[in-house]
Structure 1
Amino acid sequence: MKKLLLILCAACAAWSCAPKEEAAQKRLYMWFDCEANFALSNSPDSIRFYLEKCRQAGFTDAVVDVKSIMGETVYKSEYAPFMYEWDGVPRSEEYDVLGHFIRIGHELGMRVHGSLNIFAGGHNFFDRGIIYDDHADWQSMVSTPEGIVPISTIKTNYNGMLNPADPEVRAYELDILREFATKYPEADGIIFDRARFDDITSDFSPLSKRLFEQYIGAEVARFPEDILYWEKDDKGEWKWAEGPLFGRWIEWRAGVIKSFVEESHAALKAINPDLLVGDYTGAWYPTYYYVGVNWASTQFDPAEYFDWATPEYRKTGYADLLDIYMTGLYYTLVTKEEVDRANGAVGQRTEAGMTDEQSYWYCVEGGAEWARKLTCGVVPVIGSLYVEQYEGDAPQFSRAVAEALRSTDGLMIFDVAHIIKRDWWQPLAEGVAAADAR
């Protein structure tokens, strides 16, 4: 694997995917998470204050989280439960958060997008969400060394994810997406978040087994061992290993996600052809198959570079369907030079699908380079940063902002709450100015 990665890094400049011509203006997106900003968003005056702060910092767009990881919506829905309270702060169903954001944002000349956590259905730290209420049967079933268990029982993982292959889950989420597009015709876009499986260890439900067997046209004799099994390493620690059907399995999972993106794209554009359809994923593509997602263009063939990709895996790419692609450059290292200086030191790995590889894509510059090459110019790539990773190091955050903005078609900051908490408006502005100065 490592040899293949080195070959791929060296071949970046020679790849045949032509880069998309850059837009005249790069867009800057500020994300408003619905949980972290619940109290902040409870007043139109507060919304205006922080949107004005964003506009003064040069931000052109706001992304407002309207469907939480619990599966609750911040607007009154016919399908999803209403997010009536968070951290002791109540909210009335009559209060239209996104409506206020759209009205005020448009007054300020900003675009406003809604974000929905697609296949998320619970917060395992609070035992809250649709998998704890009416839809326990929709939750992911996870392979562990002790056997296959419901994801709600794994309290080390806060994400109570659903099974994206379940037809009932997919129909439910499509209904919510259609409802959003109908309810908010003035919204500029919709951004998918968590449109994925939980991790490489899910979903191993009887339903997924049947659907996979239909896909390959054969029965799986040993489930899940023919796909994934557990063994102890030299240190006595449990590690998952690949079974003989692993390659077909990850191909099937990526196809499940692509087909949902296809259905969603068609449904949303049928309601509002002008609605921008976007997606937010992690940038670590060489291991992102763990969560069943191929965010590359179909012009890129991963089978030429990775031993985990089947010849058919290329067809599961969905970048060509998107109007916006936000790539999570969740790295504390900013440049490839910093990776070299790290001398193989292991960095912090916090997100689903990450490994401890210390390679060039584990920095802002290298991750951005990969994202643009893999998407082949079919969609604007927005370099996205997780502010909390730079805790205590505002100068490094400024450098990351500048690099992400220089190296991609725009910038997304996750999240405004982290900027407010640290009062990092000045480091943010400095990073934006440094990018403009180059």
Structure 2
Amino acid sequence: MNRLLFIISFVIFLLVSCTTSHNTLNEDDIPWKPPTTPATPVSEKPKILWIDASANFKYFANSKESIVIYLEKAKSAGFTDVIVDVRPTCGDVLFKSNIVAEVKKLGDIERTATWDYLAVFIEEAHKQNLKIHANLNTMVGGNMRDGGVVYRDAAKAAWLTQIYYPTGIISIKEDNKSHAKFFNPINPEVQSYMLSIFTELAQNYPSLDGIILDRARFNSMESDFSELSKKEFEKYAGQTLSNFPTDIFTWNGDKVVPGKQYNKWLEFRAKTIYDFFEKARNSIKSVNKNIKFGTYTGSWYSTYYNEGVNWASKKYDPSKYYNWATPEYKNFGYATLLDIYMTGAYGKTLYGTTSEWTVEGAILNAKKVTRGDVPVCGSLYGLNFENKPQDAEEATYICLTKGDGLMFFDMIYLIMYDQWDAVKKGIDRALATDKNKNK
């Protein structure tokens, strides 16, 4: 559930940060019509249910029966795919591994069962003719509630990101504002460690349909400001920084004031993540080319450089629209590396084409910047539909008629707010609309 609280606070932060002068959004450019190609029928679009490990652990930690029951409910509601979270932010895993420890406890729930959590999900999902994907929270190694590998292993704790705040630079481990303890993505040891986990997962679970990377990014704009990152940036930029970190940016209260190397720094961060995604895809595909490779990001492209991620197509040049992007920034758009892409259409307003903060606008904007390189699954946040079943139905319908698929985050909200029927109605409406249109 801490992930859910994180999303709420993060959305508030982004809404505030969008008001700064260097985040200007050219709203007139948002609508974009893709090239005329045969439309994918709604019946063939994925309808994905996300199952967060921590939020749902009480149901699944020790009960195969619950796994069967809820997969049956997912199938009945019209879902075609399930994403099961197998590396929560503690950094331990819910599959058999020779590299990392298995999860024994999340929150107050202890796992005493010895059967293979992921293997049971795969077996039971396939019995229901559901595709099954394993999600890994990637650039994290612990959290304040559950501890994790960085609290047990001093060598891995040394990989944690260094945060640049107005008060100075500190390790994220010492930062009480950061629940999830992020690694420094620039560190080659971090990358090698995660790539070894991906490879092992693909080798040991060949019947997986997909591997999904979540939190495959920097923690925030404030990271990473370690000496290692400084040196790697200097090599990339071909110059020595005389004033670090102020050459990157300074603080005016809680506002970032770009320095002379700010835009190049954003480009460097995007390249770091692009290169990692390329390595991750190759690692997985070299083991099993049939496993799909995917990710989730927020849809707010105009400010997603905060996380060091360019999820767009290389054909989309953000420097034409945003003054934070260099002309080279477009070279590190990773959409073409993906088989599955889910974008967070987390606004509470449903319709509207010119804003990233409506469900419709988020999907259309994501399709605009990905330029057809990968299908765009609109991702819904169940908390937005508390006591609003009609909105849950309508948002589901929008994802399947405006976008290339649906992802619903998270199963816990379907349970808490009894949204199963609302989502089913949205799926059924989209299927019926498609059928009537093609009569």
TM-score past 0.5 threshold = yes
Determine helix, strand or coil for the equivalent of 1:122. strand
Q: Choose the corresponding residue for 1:11, options 29, 32, 47.
A: 29
Could you say if the C-alpha distance between residues 99 and 313 of structure 1 is closer, same or farther in structure 2, counting changes exceeding 3 Å?
same
- Residues in 1 aligned to 2:176 and 2:198: alpha-carbon distance in whole angstroms: 29
- Residues in 1 aligned to 2:56 and 2:427: alpha-carbon distance in whole angstroms: 23
Paired residues of 2:95 and 2:119 also in contact (CA < 8 A): no
Aligned to 2:88: 68
- Residues in 1 aligned to 2:230 and 2:113: alpha-carbon distance in whole angstroms: 40
Determine helix, strand or coil for the equivalent of 1:278. strand
Aligned to 2:430: 435
Could you say if the C-alpha distance between residues 6 and 143 of structure 1 is closer, same or farther in structure 2, counting changes exceeding 3 Å?
closer
Determine helix, strand or coil for the equivalent of 1:163. coil
Aligned to 1:329: 345
- Residues in 2 aligned to 1:331 and 1:110: alpha-carbon distance in whole angstroms: 28
Superposed displacement of residue 393, structure 1 = 2.4
2:341 maps to 1:320: no
Aligned to 1:29: 48
- Residues in 2 aligned to 1:185 and 1:68: alpha-carbon distance in whole angstroms: 21
- Residue pairs, 1:384-403, within 5 angstroms: 384-403=379-398
Aligned to 2:184: 163
- Residues in 2 aligned to 1:168 and 1:183: alpha-carbon distance in whole angstroms: 23
Aligned to 1:143: 164
Paired residues of 1:4 and 1:305 also in contact (CA < 8 A): no
- Residues in 2 aligned to 1:227 and 1:360: alpha-carbon distance in whole angstroms: 29
Structure 1 range deviating more: 23-32 or 269-278 = 23-32
Residues 3-41 of structure 1: CA distance to partner in whole angstroms, max 9, x if unpaired? 9988743234467x5376543311100111111111212
Could you say if the C-alpha distance between residues 393 and 46 of structure 1 is closer, same or farther in structure 2, counting changes exceeding 3 Å?
same
- Residue pairs, 1:114-263, within 5 angstroms: 114-124=134-144, 126=145, 128-134=147-153, 135-232=156-253, 238-263=254-279
Aligned to 1:356: none
- Residue pairs, 1:375-386, within 5 angstroms: 375-386=370-381
Superposed displacement of residue 415, structure 1 = 0.7
Superposed displacement of residue 430, structure 1 = 2.1
Structure 1 range deviating more: 390-399 or 307-316 = 390-399
- Residues in 1 aligned to 2:39 and 2:214: alpha-carbon distance in whole angstroms: 25
- Residues in 1 aligned to 2:203 and 2:411: alpha-carbon distance in whole angstroms: 27
2:322 maps to 1:299: no
Could you say if the C-alpha distance between residues 7 and 328 of structure 1 is closer, same or farther in structure 2, counting changes exceeding 3 Å?
closer
Superposed displacement of residue 275, structure 1 = 0.6
Could you say if the C-alpha distance between residues 5 and 201 of structure 1 is closer, same or farther in structure 2, counting changes exceeding 3 Å?
closer
Determine helix, strand or coil for the equivalent of 1:417. helix
- Residues in 2 aligned to 1:127 and 1:93: alpha-carbon distance in whole angstroms: 19
TM superposition score normalised by structure 1:
0.89
Unaligned runs of at least 5 residues, structure 2: 1-17, 434-439
Aligned to 1:51: 71
Determine helix, strand or coil for the equivalent of 1:34. coil
- Residues in 2 aligned to 1:249 and 1:167: alpha-carbon distance in whole angstroms: 18
Superposed displacement of residue 93, structure 1 = 7.0
- Residues in 2 aligned to 1:243 and 1:9: alpha-carbon distance in whole angstroms: 26
2:298 maps to 1:279: no
Could you say if the C-alpha distance between residues 127 and 30 of structure 1 is closer, same or farther in structure 2, counting changes exceeding 3 Å?
closer
- Residues in 2 aligned to 1:5 and 1:139: alpha-carbon distance in whole angstroms: 28
2:305 maps to 1:289: yes
Paired residues of 1:118 and 1:173 also in contact (CA < 8 A): yes
Superposed displacement of residue 297, structure 1 = 0.8
Could you say if the C-alpha distance between residues 107 and 13 of structure 1 is closer, same or farther in structure 2, counting changes exceeding 3 Å?
same
Count of residues in correspondence between the two structures: 410
Could you say if the C-alpha distance between residues 300 and 20 of structure 1 is closer, same or farther in structure 2, counting changes exceeding 3 Å?
farther
- Residues in 1 aligned to 2:222 and 2:334: alpha-carbon distance in whole angstroms: 23
Q: Which amino acid aligns with 2:405?
A: G
2:116 maps to 1:96: yes
- Residues in 1 aligned to 2:79 and 2:227: alpha-carbon distance in whole angstroms: 47
Paired residues of 2:163 and 2:224 also in contact (CA < 8 A): yes
Indicate the RMSD between aligned Cα atoms, in angstroms: 1.9
Superposed displacement of residue 434, structure 1 = 3.1
Determine helix, strand or coil for the equivalent of 2:347. coil
- Residues in 2 aligned to 1:405 and 1:154: alpha-carbon distance in whole angstroms: 40
Superposed displacement of residue 227, structure 1 = 0.2
Residues 340-396 of structure 1: CA distance to partner in whole angstroms, max 9, x if unpaired? xxxxxxxxxxxxxxxxxxx61111100100111111111111111111122232222
Determine helix, strand or coil for the equivalent of 1:156. coil
Identity across matched positions, percent: 39
Superposed displacement of residue 402, structure 1 = 1.6
Residues 21-73 of structure 1: CA distance to partner in whole angstroms, max 9, x if unpaired? 54331110011111111121232211110000000011000101111111110
Unaligned runs of at least 5 residues, structure 1: 233-237, 338-358
